[in-house]
Structure 1
Amino acid sequence: MGIRERNRRAVEREIDDAAMRLFVAQGFDATTTDQIAREAGVSPRSLFRYVGSKEDIVLRDMLAAGESVLAALRARPAGETAWEALRAALHVLEDNPPDRALALAEMFLRTPSLRARRLEKRLAWLDLLVPEVTRRLGRAPGDLPDPAAHAIVSAALACLDSATEIWARRGGSGDVVALFDEALDAVRHA
């Protein structure tokens, strides 16, 4: 990575950190892009060179997170079922510090526009994960997604969202991983 890219990432981190401080202190909707720019030490014009919207600040890393899940899924042992492999692969998302994860989860609960953008970005994960789950199911890849693989990935992501929402509604108490496992078990064995 060259110096230009390192500088860009450093500025992005400063913007993200400044925005999160403001979002937590005064709420997502009450925070303006001008306030974020001021807090990050950049001009409003410069801010928009790094992000397209406030939602993009919060959701910047979602595609990279989906790619991390895919890499973890591909690395799972061949003998695991699609469910087992996907469950284990989704655990790579635990790396987010708990206080930041809680702040994000609470923001999603309170902000419909942010929740909608997260769903939009999460749908891209289907394109990433369905082909690998299709392969694990022993089915030939095709031009159209496999309905079983699509359903498994969709259900696992819904369980992840449910666990995160419940954890946030409980104020971050309890173990979000245990909630995810409980939700996944309910879907698989109901």
Structure 2
Amino acid sequence: MAERGSLRERNRRAVEREISEAAMRLFVEQGFAATTTDQIATEAGISPRSLFRYAGTKEDIVLGDMLAAGHAVQAALRDRPAAEGPWEALRAALQVLADDPDNTSERAFRIAEMFLHTPSLRARRLEKRLGWLDLLVPEIERRLGHAPGEVPDPAAHAIVSCALACLDTATEVWVRRGGQGDLTEIFDEAIRAVRG
């Protein structure tokens, strides 16, 4: 039974990936605002009704993996050595985003460029990114020697918020430079500025 569930999940991920790739092709060719969900469905070879079973909006198509990415960062953070400081552990855990094989430099640039130039995407991304605080703050609290509670420790919350702001800043700088330079190095530069 579990095997069938995992097959169903693999099939779902394959369809989501096809939808995402079809949407990205259209977004790159026509722009985000000019692309309709009907066009995405046609490009993906599915009905508009089927499209809405996988993603409710165009923004969801682009941002669909953000929760999974947040869980990946959380798992990587948990796996960091206990003696590692909170900043070092969080910085290393965030590296899983850069190491994602689906996140090629060109794809990452195109998506980041869309975020920069599309207010609705920026807003939805921020909303989804705020969910990462619930995932990451308790891990940083443990690292700081605090028991996670209903009210987050201000130091842990500040560290996670700053690290995510550094990530967003680095991405925006990288896009404004036309994708030139190493995004990880720009991120590290932003973290050094905050910690300095």
Report 1:1-190 matches (<5 A).
Answer: 1-2=3-4, 3-94=7-98, 95=100, 96-189=103-196
Q: Deviations over 1:3-41 (max 9, x none)?
A: 333322221111111000001111111100010001000
For normalisation by structure 1, the TM-score amounts to 0.97
Once superposed, what is the RMSD of the aligned Cα atoms? 0.9
Unaligned runs of 5+ in 2: none
Q: Which runs of 4+ in 1 moved over 4 A?
A: none
Mapped partners of 2:28, 2:109: distance in 1: 10
The Cα shift of 1:105 comes to: 0.4
Mapped partners of 2:140, 2:115: distance in 1: 28
Mapped partners of 2:115, 2:33: distance in 1: 11
The Cα shift of 1:108 comes to: 0.3
Residue-pair matches, total = 189
For normalisation by structure 2, the TM-score amounts to 0.94
Q: Name the amino acid aligned to 1:104.
A: I
- Farther off after superposition, 138-147 or 36-45: 138-147
Q: Name the amino acid aligned to 1:63.
A: L
SS at match of 1:28: coil
Mapped partners of 2:65, 2:194: distance in 1: 28
The Cα shift of 1:42 comes to: 0.6
Mapped partners of 1:74, 1:129: distance in 2: 9
Q: Name the amino acid aligned to 2:134.
A: D
Q: Name the amino acid aligned to 1:19.
A: A
Unaligned runs of 5+ in 1: none
Mapped partners of 1:71, 1:141: distance in 2: 16
SS at match of 2:186: helix
